[in-house]
Amino acid sequence: MSDVRLMIDGQEVVVSSETSILEAAKQIGIEIPALCYDPNLEIEAACRLCLVEIEGSNKLQTSCSTRVKEGMVVHTQSEKVVKTRKDILQLLLDSHPNDCLTCQKAGECLLQKYAYDYDLKFRVHDGAMRPQLLDTSSPYILKDNAKCILCGKCVKTCAQVSDRQVLTFAERGYETYIALDANQTLETSSCVSCNRCVTVCPVGALVDKRALGKLRSWDGSSRVINCKRCDYGCEFEIVSKDKKNIAVLAKPPTNGRPLCLKGRLNTELEYIDEPEVPYRKISGKFEETTWSKALSLDGLLEKFEKMDSLKGKTREE
């Protein structure tokens, strides 16, 4: 692996020859917009938003999937690049619900951010709009296919854990949507409510239902803690408002961390001031449950009680 020297938007950068243009640009503070790119996931170059112009090439290239080369001269904001990005974003906006005012993802949504950066608006048009396809069956996740931009990040991140692989692309062309198992709901599918998919969704198509209506991205403060339930130490954000801990949000699962529902509930119970009731899935149905059952502590609690009463008896004797 050798180092190469290239120019990006007039700035020189030296990086390893294995680096993508997108990552090389990031190293010198140039952000190239991308909806489907995630350094922890296999590169797909599906959204095409990260296109850049490379001198000597007629075609624009996706910067997430193109490696740097010695002497390369790259333009990330040329007229041609900006026009193409605007066209792509406008197409996405044209089939996206215009409910940014009330969307839980407002302030964090990448489509909203890029539309603002490129001065694009929702517009009245004759084309098709995605029908609202809300899956409200889970107490943990809200899925809205109408907001999905088909970046595929949820599919890939779910599949990284071998016994999950719940999400797939269904249908084709404009009808394409993200399905669970063979067209099941979050409740009836094999989804384990780990929230991995929620952490990577760039828009409001997958949101944490337990945080709905409790906070906006710019509200309150937050800190990151590691789950103590097992050695993976997955990360969660504890969100506080008015001196109260109000929500636990899963952080993206890096370094092979799996995330799981028990770890999340454990974190809620430990940190949240007024945790909501837990639910568990029994034979494809979510049912309200007790904290000891949700955290599989029933057996342990019985053992504690037995040991405590034995101790009491020994003392009496």
Site residues, ligand SF4 (CB under 6 A): 141, 148-154, 158, 164, 166-167, 178, 191-197, 200-203, 205-206, 227, 229-230, 232-234, 257-260, 262-263
Residue 49 and residue 64: Cα distance in Å, rounded?
Answer: 10
With left for phi above 0 and alpha for psi between -120 and 50, is residue 70 left, alpha or beta? beta
Q: Between residues 72 and 141, which has the closer beta carbon with respect to ligand SF4?
A: 141
- Distance in Å, CB of 289 to ligand SF4, minimum: 18
196 CB contacts (<8 Å, ≥6 apart)? 154, 157, 158, 160, 161, 164, 250, 253, 258, 259
Q: Between residues 162 and 314, which has the closer beta carbon with respect to ligand SF4?
A: 162
Angle at alpha carbon of residue 121, lines to 117 and 127, rounded to 5°: 130
- Distance in Å, CB of 55 to ligand SF4, minimum: 32
The edge-to-edge listing of strands for the beta sheet with 221-226 is 221-226, 235-241, 244-250
- Distance in Å, CB of 206 to ligand SF4, minimum: 5
Residue nearest to ligand SF4 (CB): 263
Residue 21 and residue 69: Cα distance in Å, rounded?
Answer: 9
Q: Between residues 8 and 197, which has the closer beta carbon with respect to ligand SF4?
A: 197
Q: Between residues 152 and 275, which has the closer beta carbon with respect to ligand SF4?
A: 152
Q: Between residues 85 and 105, which has the closer beta carbon with respect to ligand SF4?
A: 105
Q: Between residues 165 and 309, which has the closer beta carbon with respect to ligand SF4?
A: 165
- Distance in Å, CB of 36 to ligand SF4, minimum: 7
81 CB contacts (<8 Å, ≥6 apart)? 51, 52, 53, 60, 75
- Distance in Å, CB of 313 to ligand SF4, minimum: 36
Instruction: Please give the C-alpha separations between residue 278 and each of 77, 87, 138, 239, 266, in angstroms, as whole numbers.
Output: 48, 44, 12, 18, 10
- Distance in Å, CB of 272 to ligand SF4, minimum: 15
